[in-house]
């Protein structure tokens, strides 16, 4: 039962760790490929996200209020039995 469920390495060899300097160079090379948004795109994305968040807040608040009133209506005892 001591078999590992990990994926075995290629050709039965264990992969060696990447040296820190090579890792850093690879990170820098990948970051050079990144396309950053323009200020106009950034403002547009910000507005879209804020509208979505505000809509979701309103929806969740309305559902919470509605379910709260429903629970009080169902479980509120009016004393007439």
Query: Rounded mean pLDDT of 30-47?
Result: 96
Residue in the structure block whose two tokens are 């795109």: 41
User: Residue 79 carries which DSSP code?
Assistant: S
Q: What whole-number percentage of the chain has pLDDT above 70?
A: 77
In 1-81, alpha helices (H): 20-32, 39-75
d(CA 78, CA 72): 11
pTM recorded for the entire structure:
0.57
Tokens (6 digits) for 76: 């509120």
Tokens (6 digits) for 80: 């007439």
Instruction: Give residue 18's pLDDT.
Output: 87
Query: Rounded mean pLDDT of 24-47?
Result: 96
């Amino acid at each position: 039962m001591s078999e590992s469920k990990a994926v075995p390495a290629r050709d039965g060899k264990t992969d060696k760790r990447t040296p820190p300097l090579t890792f850093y160079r690879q990170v820098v090379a990948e970051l050079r490929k990144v396309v950053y948004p323009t200020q106009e795109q950034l403002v547009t994305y910000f507005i879209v996200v804020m509208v979505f968040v505000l809509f979701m807040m309103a929806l969740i608040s309305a559902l919470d209020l509605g379910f709260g009133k429903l629970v009080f209506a169902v479980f509120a005892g009016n004393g007439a039995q």
